[in-house]
Each structure stands twice: as C-alpha cells, then as structure tokens.
Structure 1
Amino acid sequence: MRLNLPLLLMLSGIGLMLTSGIPAVFEFMSMQGFPSNPTSSLFPSHWFIMIYGFFGALIGNEILVALSVEWSGKIANNNLIISFTALTIIASLSSFFVSILFSMFLEIISISILLLYSQTYLNYSKIGLKPSTYNWLLLFSLIITIIILSFQIGLGYVIPYVNLFFPIGVIFAVMSRDLALVTRAKINDSEIALAFIFLTLGIISYSSFYGEALLFLAWLLSFHSSKLYKFKGRKYPILHLTTAWIFFLTSIIFYANYDIFIHSIAVGFLFNTVFGVDVVLMDMFVNAFGKVSVKPSYIPYILMNSGLMMRIIYDLGVNYSFLILSAPLQGFGILSFFILTLRQVLLKNKV
C-alpha cells in the first residue's frame, strides 16, 4: 500500500500531542493534590512539544498539503514532507534528551522548509487569483517565528510564552481566509492585518505594561472583522469561533494570571479555532484523502471547554475536589476530536 505522507505527518502530530499532553495533565493534577505524578520528568518539555511538535505538524500539513492543493493544485514534494516530518519529530524528542535550545535550532530548519515552500502562495493561484491577505500573513508568521527562535538561541535561554506566536500567528493568518466561509460575510482585510500586527506585538511584549492593551486591540479588530457578533452562518463553526474569541478576551481580562493567560489562548482560542473553522485538520483530510464529509460532534467541545473553565476557576483560587477533573477533561476533549474525526475519514476512505 502506498505510504500516505500527510496521514503520517498527522499521526506524528497526534503522537506528539499525547507525549506532551499526558505529562501536562499529571502535572496540573499533582498541583491540585493528586498523589502521583509518574511523568514529572517529561513536563519541562511540554510547552515546546505542544507548540512545535503538535501544532507544527498541523501547520505543516496545512502549508504543504491542504493550502497547496487549494492554491496550486498539488501537494508539496514528498522529500519536503518527509524532511519536515522527520525534523519535527527529532526536534520534539531532542527537547527531552538534548536541550530545548538545540531543538529550537532544528525547528529553525523545519520552519524554513515551510517558509521556502510558502513562496508558492505568492504566485497566482491555479484559477488565476492574486495572493490575498492570508497569503502574506502566512509568510510573515513563519518569518517572525524564525526570528523569535533565533533570538532565544542568541540569548542562550528560552522564553516559553513568546513561542505561542507560532501557532497563533499561522492559525490567525489562515483563519482570515476561512472566516468568510463560516460567517458568509465579507472580511475586512485591513482590520485583520492590523489585528495581526497588534497580536504579534502583544504576544512578544507579554508582561509589559502595554502588552495587554495591544492584545485587546487585536481582539477588538479581529472580532469586529469576523462578524461573529451577527451569529449568522454554520452553527457548529460559529459556536466554536465565538467561544474562541470569548477565551481570547478572557486571556486579556486575566492577563496578570500567567496560567489563565496561557491556557485561555493555547486551549481556548487555538483549539476552538482549529475545531471550528477546520483551519488545519479538515482541510488536510479533504485534500489528502479526497472529498470527505465529516459529521461534527459536540462532545469534544463540551469536554474541552468545560475542563478549561474548571481550570480557570481553580486558578482564581476556588478549590473544590471535582476541579481535579479539569486537566483530564481538556485532554479527553481534544483527543476525542481527533479520534472521532480520524475514524470517520478512515472508514469512509478505507485507508
């Protein structure tokens, strides 16, 4: 049977998500009083593998496969996909066995592959369309990510929160394309571009006195441009996207609480956006396997967002025993989305 490289990259990403997520679940439960933490030694690499391993695999599939088919009519060269997949896995595992700074060096090479291929999106599309806002924002996201990684290597130490820009920047860029399909409204490109600038500056300058204001401007402009407040369009994506922007605002309101800030963005905003507009996963399935109609489930939405809300309540100082379920619920919610989706795709296509 012919090797399906997009599927291999996706499965690698899910594997890295588990590698990163399980230690994070035990770590948070341990903070809440759970008596055992068998994966404590793996937790320090959690953030790196989640950002550059899991989200890296999703973003790689989007750039090398899904968007590529949509824009140019073909996927990237197999050698590029294989190289990116291998570097993503090696960089993630190196964060355990070598150092995160070394892993960042590998990630610069990995993301450079995406940057090199992203030049495809600066040409006319297969049907003659000019590059739009999302094409340019996608390119800038990758360039800024490489600068962020290089800066940390130059410093000789890591700044975990600033690396959130990689998934936020890229997903925000692609989301600017998909929003119109969901809300059936014209998206203001100027507002989205300006929101992207404020988002970039806000993430980079977190903990500064003006970082919160910059992120609020990014939220305000992007929410206004999205037209989500009109509640028109497909119900399932609208629910996820509205929830995503609520958690984005939550991260700003509780800006001073690091755990709430990080997870409101990383879980609340990013995952709800991915699940809602199919920024990465669904597009990859459609283009890698052929036309697939996936029936969405609300189970992942309920589990993940309930768990995140419980985490925020705990972070605010409320300590009820049932809140120990917050991290497992988030994990099961995210994992259930991929299991339910993969099951439908594989069954319908008999991969």
Structure 2
Amino acid sequence: MTYQKLFEPYTLGAITLANRVVMAPLTRNRAGAGLVPSEFAPEYYAQRATAGLIISEATQISRLAQGYQNTPGLYTPEQIVAWRKVTDAVHAEGGHIFVQLWHVGRVSHVDLLGGDAPVAPSAIRAETKTFVNNSFADVSEPRALTLDEIPAIVDDFRKAAANAIEAGFDGVEIHGANGYLLDQFLRETANVRTDAYGGSIENRARLLIEVADAIAQQIGPERTGVRLSPVSPAGGVLLSGNEQAQFDYTVEQLDKLDIVYIHVIEGATAGPRDAVQFDYKTLRNRFRNSYIANNGYDLTLAEQHLASNEADLIAFGRPFISNPDLVKRLNTGAPLNPLDPDTLYGGGAKGYVDYPALKD
C-alpha cells in the first residue's frame, strides 16, 4: 500500500492543516500553581506542531470541573496568559491547536474540590478511581445538579471558549466523552433524571447540544468540535445497549449546529475497537463536516479509512508522547521511540520534553 492521503493538507473550517494527522488530547498531570499549564508545556506542544492539528490535554472550565490532581484550567487570567505561551509556541512552528474543554462531573474527589461533592446528572457514584493526593483513590459520591444550576454549567463552557480564543487557540473541542459530565448526561445508566435533561434520548442529549450551541455562537461553529465515545466504558460508564440510537440522534443534532468536527473514539478508550458492536458509519453519514477517527489506528488502518471516506482525519494519542516527530516517523517508516510508563503522569521535563526526534 502507498501511504499518501494521511499526509495531504486538509481544510478544517477556516484553517488549512498541513496533514490529516491529529494529536489526540493527552492528560499529563503537570500543571503548576494556580493550575496553569506546565512551564515546559510550550516546548512540549511546539515539539509536536508538525501534526496537522493538536488537541490539547483536557482543560477544566471551572474550579468545580476538576477531577484529577495537577490538570490545567482555562478560567482565570493567569491560566489564559500561560496558555497564550503554548499557542504562540505552536503557531511559531506553523502548527494549529484546539483546546479540549472539560467538566469531569462525578469523576472527582472532595479533596480536589475544597470539600464540595462532585456534581452529576444523578447521585450515582461511578465505579472508578481518580488521582488525588499523589495516589489513586475511589471517586467521591456525587450530588445531582439542580435544574437551576444547569444554565451556569453551559455558561462556564461558553466563557472558557471565549478564554480559549483570547489565549490564542484556533478552536475548542468540547469533551463529551469518556464518562465525564456531558457523557454522563447521555447515559441512561448515569442519568435517571425525570426533568428536561433526562428520561429520553432527546432529553439526555440536551445539555451537550446546549453547550455546543452556546460555544458555536460565542466563537463560531467553524472553531467548535465535539469528542464522543459511544461504547467506551471509560470513567466508570456502564453501557445500556441503547447507544446506537442515542448517538445517532446526538450527532444529528450536532450536525444542525454546523460545528466543524466530531471526534469519535471507536471502541473502548485505549482498548479494543470491536468489543461492543456499533456502526460508526451511521455517525459519519449523519454529519456533514469533518469526522476525526480515534483509537488503535496504525498507518495501514488510517489509510484504509481515509481511502474509503470513513474518516477525514486520524487521531493518534500515546505514540505522540514518546515521538514528538510522529508525523515524520509515520511518513518515512522510521521506528518509534518506546514509551516510559513511569513518566506519563506528573513530574517535570523528564518523559515530557526529552524524547528524541529523528536527526535530519
């Protein structure tokens, strides 16, 4: 097979990407005091700017949106200033970068939230752990959001999107995946509300659609994307068997907003692609704009899906951690650097900005 399409330029909204390779969001738990991005973040992202598009690590929209130790935010002036250093560094290398906007919902711990309980669609605790106080711990019992609290959640997303543009990002990705707040609302196993935000496919999709609409109106649909994970058990998600109908409807509604892309985790996040049956082509067919495919892609699978028009862009995650020049390595067939699992989360420069690039 001749590998060509992955390395062709691609127009995404108002920007032209150098290739169809996307760097997926990768949480690294290196934020500094005030939850600003790491002092090494500008170098880290600039090293990877040969990706057609970088999607930043998940970034919380408010103090109460945090779920893990040392993850960055985008809701204070100091955070905006620090992120501007990152976007400037990426743009100086000719790259493009979106920020992933995040509210973890129930996947959090009281010690991260100043003693406050995590919020969720319903008071159902997730069977999962988070990283807090330098160790893994069971997440805390959440409380259900009241109906009159929900508009503030939407507004926090909107304000964070406005902050992202002020910080120099080319756009934003709404984190609607992996068992976090917006995904929790989509799931009948996590959402047992009986008001306008629960009880039916349409109601469970309502919050995600309201957030996407608010952000698209704030910064433009051409700068707004959404990440989805229809059948991933990440974040303690329990599947109901109704995922196809739920996500078919959700994507139809996102399409009506004319947002620039959907970014779909196909299968279990960082796990098998085919453990649960799901027809991703129906999402592709319901969405007019760009489809970013994610999870378990190698060069051959990427080219197959691009050639068959099953995807427009292909996201790679962990390979980008240890291979800052992943695009070049894929294009030339060069071997990949091995990943050091001991430096994935937390720490400083080691395992972050010191992976070697190929020599010219």
Same fold (TM over 0.5): no
Larger RCO (alpha carbons 8 Å, 6+ apart): 2
| Structure having the larger proportion of residues in helix | 1
